[in-house]
Each structure stands twice: as structure tokens, then as C-alpha cells.
């Protein structure tokens, strides 16, 4: 009996510990910041303009007929990031919760002036999550993107994540990747880019994934990679899911490269320079063939396959020349590879890596194979 009493008392004590909310912060007393934006508050010196897309739980579940949005925007200006947020809280009747924030947009002017203070704020503030995606807004401000009424999502702040994911990108990691690259061996960080556009023939604006923004070692925006260049960079880094590729050989043929893989091999030359060999491969599935080639013919199939290899080789060399000669920054992970493959060389030359990278020799080797031709072997125009 004594043993049974002890067990019952223990169960009751544990049950009491499991019941109730200890912080006494009810959901009705909170407002959720799901997407944020930061711009320079122009005309007021070094001040920041913070924008928050705040979620209204009571507006959800009202059905499609409801014309009232389930979010609203608030802005505030302050001397630093946290000061801006604190000022915004002064005219919100509920406590602002930032732990659910998925996106943070940065205006182009602010990105060019430097984002070190933003990174410092995020890494110090325990309410900010490291799984946030940070975006640069090309040719505009963070508020420009956050004002877009995106029709496919109830919360427009969630649209960039799904757009990026639908185009083969990896989401939920851009902040972590940036912090790793900025502290890594020789690499320069990048961030994904959104742009506000007006589609042809339509009056309402929308948002579009543009590519990647390149930052220097002082966390300042120096330029962009467009969508094609960004996907090819991901291919070299081993981050790509699939790539769309178009070849022009007796017409146009488009395919999707699945399982894109790459391998980097670095050779140290006698002159203390290095040669970087990038081998890429993947499987092509033909999605459109407007050429005069009958692909059931093996010779024609090999010609088209070679054309795809030549096209991606040209694109890769153009990407390498842009980052090597125009921006003069390693955003391809070459420094990390050199550190792993030749640690002694890296130890001796890491201080001069930017100069070495600019003067390095690159060789691109491609091995793309056509695996599927679609439902027919030749264009419908070929009889």
C-alpha cells in the first residue's frame, strides 16, 4: 500500500507540472511578425526604417469571400535595428513575437551601405531565428516588396519562400549560409534577391526571384548574379536541385538537368599559382524540341547532347569570368576547397587569396547525358 501511495503522489506531482502556462503570455496578447523589412530612412542621417507584416489570427478561417486581409503593415524609424522595433511596439496593443518570422527583406541602398548592423542584431537577439531567409530587394526598398498584394498566398510575406523553392532553390538557410561564408576560409557571402516587377499587359505589380546578391568582406553589396548565373553557381557548390537548359542546334531544344553534380580539383603549379578544374555532370530530360533533328537517330542524339554540353560550358565560363574579373570575389567556394585539398598552401597564401583567385586558371569539364526524350523523338513539324 505504501508503494502504491508513493506512485500516486508522484503521478499527481508530475501532472501538476504539465498543466498551465507558466509565462502567462496568452495568444490573445501577442501579435506575430511573419515578415520584416529594413531600409535606410533617407533624409534623417543614419537611421533605419523597419517594416513588419503582422498576422491577424482572428481573420483566418473566414473563407474566400472575406475581403479583409489577415495581415497588416506597420513601420517605425530608429537609430538602430532594435531601437526601430522597440518604437514600433509603442503603438501595438499586443506584444510583438518575432520567433515565427520567415523572411527579412533589405532594401538595395541599405545593402550597398552595409548590413553588418543587421547581422549583429540578428545574432544577438534571442527572439530572432537563424532559420530566417534574408533577401535583397533589387532596384527598390523592402517596403516595395512587402506592399505587393500577392494573390496566391494569404500572407504575401510567405510568397518569396515558395517562389524560390518552386524554382529549385533551398529555403530556410540563407542567413546561416551567409554567416558561415562570411566567417569561412576565403569565401564571400551571397543572399537571394527578389524584385518587384510589372508583368507585361498587367497593371498590378508582383514579385519575382531575380538571383543572388554578392557581398564583399565588409558586408556591402557589390553586384548581382541573375537567375541563370545563380543556378549555375549552386550547381558548382553542389546545392542545385535541377537546372533548365536550352540548346540551339538547328532550332531550339530545352531540357531539365536532374541530379546536377560537380567536383572541384585544384592543382598547385610551380609558379605558386593554381589551376582549378570543375567537372560537372547531370541527366537531361528533354521538355521541348523545336529542331529538325530526329532524336531516334543515335547520331542526332549525340549531336544534341554535345550541344547541351557546349552550352553549359559556355555559361559556366561566363559566370567564372564575371565573379573573377568583375567582382573579384570568390563566391564559388574555391577557397574552402583549396583549404581542404592543400592546407599547407592555404596557410601560406590565405592573406592573398583574393589576388590569387583573380589570377587563377579555370578549366570546366562537362558530362551531361540525355536520359529521356519525352513522348516523341522528333519535333511535330518534322514529317
Which pLDDT score, from 0 to 100, does residue 367 have?
A: 96
**pLDDT for 62 beyond 60:** no
Judge whether 156 lies within some domain. yes
Which pLDDT score, from 0 to 100, does residue 59 have?
A: 57
The DSSP code for 132 is P
206/255 same-domain check: no
258/184 same-domain check: no
**pLDDT for 176 beyond 90:** no
Coil, strand or helix: which one is 187?
coil
Which pLDDT score, from 0 to 100, does residue 378 have?
A: 58
Count of CB atoms within 10 A of residue 310's CB? 14
Pick from 68-72, 84-88, 237-241, 313-317: least confident: 68-72
Cα 178 from Cα 187, distance rounded (Å): 10
Mean pLDDT over residues 243-253, rounded? 91
152/32 same-domain check: yes
Phi, psi for 135 (deg, rounded to 5): -125, 145
68/119 same-domain check: yes
Cα 261 from Cα 361, distance rounded (Å): 21
Judge whether 13 lies within some domain. no
Between 186 and 10, where is the model more confident?
A: 186
Judge whether 6 lies within some domain. no
Judge whether 9 lies within some domain. no
Judge whether 7 lies within some domain. no
206/247 same-domain check: no
Cα 295 from Cα 318, distance rounded (Å): 29
Which pLDDT score, from 0 to 100, does residue 261 have?
A: 95
206/286 same-domain check: no
Cα 210 from Cα 1, distance rounded (Å): 72
170/219 same-domain check: yes
Pick from 136-140, 145-149, 329-333, 375-379: least confident: 375-379
Pick from 150-154, 305-309, 376-380: least confident: 376-380
Most confident of 27-31, 34-38, 228-232: 228-232
Which pLDDT score, from 0 to 100, does residue 221 have?
A: 97
Entry pTM: 0.86
CA distances from 73 to 37, 45, 370, 371 (A): 10, 24, 49, 49
Mean pLDDT over residues 235-258, rounded? 91
Judge whether 107 lies within some domain. yes
Mean of pLDDT over the chain: 86
Sheet holding 274-289, edge to edge: 242-248, 252-268, 274-289, 361-372
CATH of the domain at 316: 3.30.300.210
Between 66 and 77, where is the model more confident?
A: 77
- Using alpha carbons only, give the angle 215, 177, 227 rounded to the nearest 5 degrees: 60
Count of CB atoms within 10 A of residue 321's CB? 11
* Under 8 Å between Cβ of 38 and 88: no
Most confident of 9-13, 57-61, 93-97, 223-227: 223-227
Out of 226, 250, 266, a domain closes at 226
Out of 226, 249, 277, a domain closes at 226
**Sole residue written with cell 499527481:** 12
The DSSP code for 294 is B
pLDDT for 303-327, tens place per residue? 999 999 999 999 999 999 999 999 9
* Under 8 Å between Cβ of 256 and 229: no
Which pLDDT score, from 0 to 100, does residue 63 have?
A: 47
**pLDDT for 375 beyond 80:** no
79, three cell numbers: 537609430
Mean pLDDT over residues 15-19, rounded? 60
Count of CB atoms within 10 A of residue 188's CB? 23
192/288 same-domain check: no
**Sole residue written with cell 526571384:** 209
* Under 8 Å between Cβ of 291 and 379: yes
pLDDT for 191-215, tens place per residue? 999 999 999 988 889 999 999 999 9
188/258 same-domain check: no
CA distances from 7 to 59, 82, 363, 381 (A): 47, 50, 72, 82
Residue-number span of the structural domain to which 255 is assigned:
241-383
39/99 same-domain check: yes
**pLDDT for 2 beyond 70:** no
Residue count of the chain, please give it: 383
Exposure pattern of 44-75 as b/e (b: 16+ CB <10 Å)?
A: eeebbbbbbbbbeeeeeeeeeeeeeebbebbb
Judge whether 373 lies within some domain. yes
Out of 180, 199, 226, a domain closes at 226
pLDDT tier, 181 (very low <50, low <70, confident <90, very high otherwise): confident
214/321 same-domain check: no
- Number of folded domains that form the chain: 2
Judge whether 98 lies within some domain. yes
259/134 same-domain check: no
Amino acid at each position: 500500500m505504501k508503494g502504491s501511495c508513493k506512485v500516486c503522489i508522484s503521478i499527481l506531482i508530475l501532472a501538476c507540472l504539465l498543466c498551465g502556462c507558466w509565462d502567462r503570455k496568452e495568444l490573445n496578447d501577442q501579435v506575430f511578425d511573419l515578415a520584416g523589412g529594413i531600409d535606410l530612412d533617407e533624409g534623417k542621417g543614419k537611421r533605419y526604417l523597419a517594416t513588419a507584416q503582422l498576422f491577424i489570427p482572428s481573420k483566418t478561417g473566414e473563407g474566400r469571400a472575406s475581403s479583409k486581409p489577415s495581415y497588416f503593415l506597420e513601420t517605425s524609424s530608429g537609430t538602430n535595428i532594435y531601437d526601430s522595433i522597440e518604437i514600433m511596439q509603442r503603438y501595438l496593443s499586443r506584444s510583438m513575437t518575432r520567433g515565427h518570422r520567415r523572411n527579412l527583406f533589405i532594401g538595395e541602398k541599405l545593402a550597398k551601405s552595409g548590413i553588418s548592423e543587421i547581422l549583429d542584431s540578428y545574432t544577438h537577439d534571442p527572439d530572432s531565428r537563424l532559420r530566417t531567409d534574408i533577401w535583397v530587394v533589387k532596384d527598390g526598398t523592402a517596403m516595395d516588396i512587402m506592399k505587393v498584394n500577392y494573390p496566391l498566398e494569404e500572407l504575401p510575406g510567405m510568397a518569396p519562400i515558395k517562389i524560390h523553392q518552386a524554382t529549385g532553390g533551398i529555403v530556410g538557410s540563407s542567413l546561416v549560409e551567409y554567416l558561415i561564408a562570411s566567417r569561412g576560409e576565403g569565401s564571400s557571402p551571397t543572399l537571394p534577391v527578389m524584385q518587384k516587377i510589372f508583368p507585361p499587359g498587367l497593371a498590378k505589380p508582383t514579385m519575382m526571384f531575380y538571383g543572388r546578391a554578392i557581398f564583399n568582406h565588409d558586408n556591402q553589396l557589390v553586384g548581382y548574379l541573375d537567375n541563370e548565373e545563380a543556378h549555375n553557381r549552386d550547381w558548382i557548390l553542389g546545392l542545385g536541385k535541377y537546372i533548365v537548359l536550352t540548346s540551339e542546334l538547328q532550332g531550339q531544344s530545352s531540357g531539365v538537368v536532374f541530379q546536377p553534380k560537380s567536383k572541384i580539383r585544384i592543382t598547385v603549379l610551380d609558379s605558386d599559382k593554381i589551376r582549378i578544374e570543375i567537372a560537372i555532370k547531370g541527366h537531361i530530360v528533354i521538355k521541348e524540341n523545336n529542331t529538325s533533328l530526329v532524336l531516334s537517330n543515335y547520331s542526332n542524339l549525340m549531336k544534341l547532347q554535345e550541344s547541351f554540353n557546349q552550352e553549359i560550358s559556355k555559361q559556366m565560363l561566363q559566370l567564372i569570368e564575371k565573379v573573377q574579373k568583375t567582382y573579384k570575389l570568390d563566391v564559388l567556394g574555391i577557397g574552402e576547397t583549396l583549404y581542404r585539398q592543400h592546407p599547407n598552401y592555404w596557410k601560406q597564401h590565405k592573406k592573398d587569396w583574393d589576388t590569387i583567385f583573380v589570377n587563377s586558371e579555370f578549366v570546366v569539364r562537362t558530362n551531361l547525358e540525355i536520359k529521356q526524350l519525352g513522348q516523341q523523338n522528333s519535333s511535330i513539324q518534322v514529317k
